[in-house]
Structure 1
Amino acid sequence: MTVNLMHQYILEEKEVLLHLLENRKKIVGSVIPSVNNEVRNVYIIGSGTSYHAALAAKPLIEEVTNWEVHPTYPTHFMQEKISDSKNNLVLGISQGGSSLSTINGIKRAQKMNIPTVGISEYKDSNLADISDYYLPIEVGDQEKAGAKTKGYVASILTLMLFSLEFSEYNQLLSDEKYNNYLARMKKTFEKLDEIVDASEEWVYHIKDDLTNAREIMVIGYGSHYATVLEGALKLLETVRVPVIGYEMEEYMHGVYNCVSEDSNFIFLASQHENRERLLALEEFLSKVTNHCYLIGSEKTNASPKDLIISRDEDSIFSVFEYIIPLQLLSAVLANEKGIDPAVSKFQNFHQLMKSKS
């Protein structure tokens, strides 16, 4: 089995996450004393994968701190009405550190005397240089594929660890709770090899059905809306057909009218109060199209099109699990179509659009 560079990076995710967890004090600790303990509003600005990472990290951050977290597209941040208060903090994420919209958002915050933290894989990037403080996204060997995978999970965990260390430093968490979060993380990461194996088997079973798909929809809910958006982005970046991610309720508001026998759906059925409604939606759509696939923790009468990845998923940290099958599906389908996901279809796009420095 020949795998591309993107596939190789996915296989490195467990190692990357365990490294970040073990070295958290060294990686994020130097910035913590500089963060005002009166901060209440945290704006996390970034585009694409960086924005999705912020959405995925938000539940944990708000649970362990006294912050209200606002994941925001940089262009939206430029229009936000924000007070120049010491209670605000802006985190800008760009794995390459060259996103001009994120850099412009950092500049706006600084004009308002709001402290800024640049989060990037590259210490010598423009984002790192301009920000007041810098946090690295440590992914081991640099991620050279355009469609980011280990960078996504590393971005989520860096944000989570930043908030945990802040709360531990400012005594917002007891030692018992702090250590419990770390143990839950480690337990999740230790299971990732099993999830990769199960996901690869599932992907190779369904790949022929999806290789020539003309469009795909990904549907989920709760914290996995971030996974829905990131999974859809990975698929469209690599397979290069229209892929749309929907929050379950939003899909039910009119979008179902476009379903046909050629439609392809991937459902994320994580443990959640809305799980039964999503299964009902899958059952309904399965009567229209034969191309329905499900990723979940359990399911009665599961079919070969379903992937059961974990029976004891963590409500917060399962974001590190559910993204893996979508990443692998993207890498394998790209291979099947003869597409190298490490090479952009239009290599001069950002230069022409002036979207990166």
Structure 2
Amino acid sequence: MKSMEDYINLEQTIYQNILQNRNDILQEITQLSATELASYESIVIFATGSSSNAAFAAQPYIASKLQIPVYIEEPSFAANYMMHLNQKTLYLAISQGGHSYSTIHIVEEIEKHGGTVFTLTSDLESPISKKAKHVIGMGMGVEEMPYVTAGYSATILILDLLALELSRQMKRLHTEDYEKELDEMSKIARFLPEVIAKAEQWIEGLKEEFLTADRMIFVGYGSTYGVAREGETKITETVRISAFGKELEEYMHGPYIGLAKTDRIFFIEPHGKLEERAEKLKQFLAGHVETVYTIYADKVEERQARDLMLGVQTSEYLASLFTTIPVHLLSYKVSQWKGINLEISAYPEFDRITGSKI
């Protein structure tokens, strides 16, 4: 079985394949008429776990390109309490592995009520692929490792590309801007090996601090809010310590009061609209916790010794395509230093008892 690290190192190839084959991958949805696309006034994405985190990471880009609101909903809550379909809403469902009970259930409920939902999955032979009417393959193989890394990143890229393709089809984006966006995504793909190398060096250099952490808190905004959420998910799953992923302003409205001096706090900085706001929070935290780290998408003139600069100059909306790499590597390396075998389920009876996976 490939490790999390193996899949992280495959991301450049996966990105390049998706970019090259984007027309085939997105054909199921881009074949909708311009008139039908123009009728949609909002998008609702159903996802849970890392799929949900990826959706949040792509949300600002989708909204900016299509110029309509984008909402991310928990499938179980929506199916049981919010089943009020709107013909002017475009529905998407994401299940990378294709076995999530709640996502399968929401797809079935939408279709039973006469709605249309497009389902994104990496496994075209999975239960969700067999039940859904409209399936979008992710253009990559099935990720063997249950703690997904490449699949999470591929989901962001596909959602970004979906927004890009639809915006062009709806004539909300000029051809020249369309090509520029594609070039940016291709540039990011080329930078991935360098991003991985910088992240590995950073993690190894701070090994003792990361290894002795009792709690990690990830803070992001814009597209990196999804990265912060993924930090919470992956650290909890793999390192098995307390972890939280918060949107910048959300963290500033209460959670900061629960600070402990030994907290490890990570800012995921895309150099966007709220950068100054994040700097003010860091100034406050510096007087109350021992370690604050910033993962910068690009370079900065002044940085702290514990910070990581990835050196990729791009739009804040695209920063989530690569800023999760240090977070994924961190979760993998610390789990291995602690001797946690990620190939063996921590609780093998869980799915059997709860039925969360089909």
Paired position in structure 2 for 1:304? 305
Note if 1:263 corresponds to 2:263. Answer: yes
For 1:79-94, list aligned pairs within 5 A.
Answer: 79=80, 81=82, 83-94=84-95
Residues 89-140 of structure 1 show CA distances to partners (whole Å, capped at 9, x for unaligned) of 3211111111111111112211332111121111111211221211012234
Among candidates 26, 29, 43, match of residue 28 of structure 1? 26
- For structure 2, the 5+ residue unaligned runs are none
SS in 1 for 2:206: helix
Alignment CA distance shift 1:181-1:63 (3 Å): same
Paired position in structure 2 for 1:181? 181
Paired position in structure 1 for 2:249? 249
**Quick one: which amino acid aligns to residue 314 of structure 1?**
S
Matched length? 354
**Range with greater deviation from structure 2 (300-309 or 263-272):** 300-309
- For structure 1, the 5+ residue unaligned runs are none
Paired position in structure 1 for 2:110? 109
**Take 1:95 and 1:45, find their aligned partners in 2: how far apart are those partners?**
12
TM superposition score normalised by structure 1: 0.92
Asked if structure 2 preserves the Cα contact closer than 8 Å seen for 1:207 and 1:332, the reply is no
Paired position in structure 2 for 1:318? 319
TM superposition score normalised by structure 2: 0.92
Residues 284-328 of structure 1 show CA distances to partners (whole Å, capped at 9, x for unaligned) of 222233222211134454233110112623221111121111111
SS in 2 for 1:278: helix
SS in 2 for 1:355: coil
SS in 2 for 1:280: helix
**Take 1:202 and 1:96, find their aligned partners in 2: how far apart are those partners?**
31
**Quick one: which amino acid aligns to residue 88 of structure 1?**
T
Alignment CA distance shift 1:74-1:258 (3 Å): same
**Take 1:279 and 1:164, find their aligned partners in 2: how far apart are those partners?**
31
SS in 1 for 2:316: coil
For 1:51-66, list aligned pairs within 5 A.
Answer: 51-65=52-66
Residues 222-256 of structure 1 show CA distances to partners (whole Å, capped at 9, x for unaligned) of 22111100122111111011101112222222322
**Take 2:123 and 2:206, find their aligned partners in 1: how far apart are those partners?**
37
Note if 1:289 corresponds to 2:317. Answer: no
Calculate the aligned-residue CA RMSD, in Å. Answer: 2.0
Asked if structure 2 preserves the Cα contact closer than 8 Å seen for 1:269 and 1:279, the reply is no
**Range with greater deviation from structure 2 (283-292 or 259-268):** 283-292
**Take 2:203 and 2:131, find their aligned partners in 1: how far apart are those partners?**
42
**Range with greater deviation from structure 2 (277-286 or 215-224):** 277-286
Asked if structure 1 preserves the Cα contact closer than 8 Å seen for 2:191 and 2:312, the reply is no
Asked if structure 1 preserves the Cα contact closer than 8 Å seen for 2:76 and 2:106, the reply is yes
Asked if structure 1 preserves the Cα contact closer than 8 Å seen for 2:44 and 2:90, the reply is yes
**Range with greater deviation from structure 2 (171-180 or 230-239):** 171-180
Note if 1:236 corresponds to 2:236. Answer: yes
Shift of 1:338: 0.7
SS in 1 for 2:204: helix
Alignment CA distance shift 1:282-1:66 (3 Å): closer
Paired position in structure 1 for 2:193? 193
Note if 1:150 corresponds to 2:150. Answer: yes
**Take 1:167 and 1:288, find their aligned partners in 2: how far apart are those partners?**
46
Shift of 1:204: 0.5
Shift of 1:66: 5.0
SS in 2 for 1:222: coil
**Take 2:62 and 2:94, find their aligned partners in 1: how far apart are those partners?**
16
Note if 1:139 corresponds to 2:140. Answer: yes
Alignment CA distance shift 1:311-1:56 (3 Å): closer
Residues 250-301 of structure 1 show CA distances to partners (whole Å, capped at 9, x for unaligned) of 2222322222222211112221232223223223222233222211134454
Paired position in structure 2 for 1:14? 12
Shift of 1:342: 3.4
Alignment CA distance shift 1:4-1:113 (3 Å): closer
**Take 1:285 and 1:68, find their aligned partners in 2: how far apart are those partners?**
33
Residues 193-227 of structure 1 show CA distances to partners (whole Å, capped at 9, x for unaligned) of 21111111001011211112111111122221111
SS in 1 for 2:223: helix
Alignment CA distance shift 1:99-1:264 (3 Å): same
Shift of 1:57: 1.5
Paired position in structure 1 for 2:99? 98
Shift of 1:44: 0.8
Residues 57-106 of structure 1 show CA distances to partners (whole Å, capped at 9, x for unaligned) of 22222222254321111123225656544323321111111111111111
**Take 1:110 and 1:336, find their aligned partners in 2: how far apart are those partners?**
46
Alignment CA distance shift 1:132-1:277 (3 Å): same
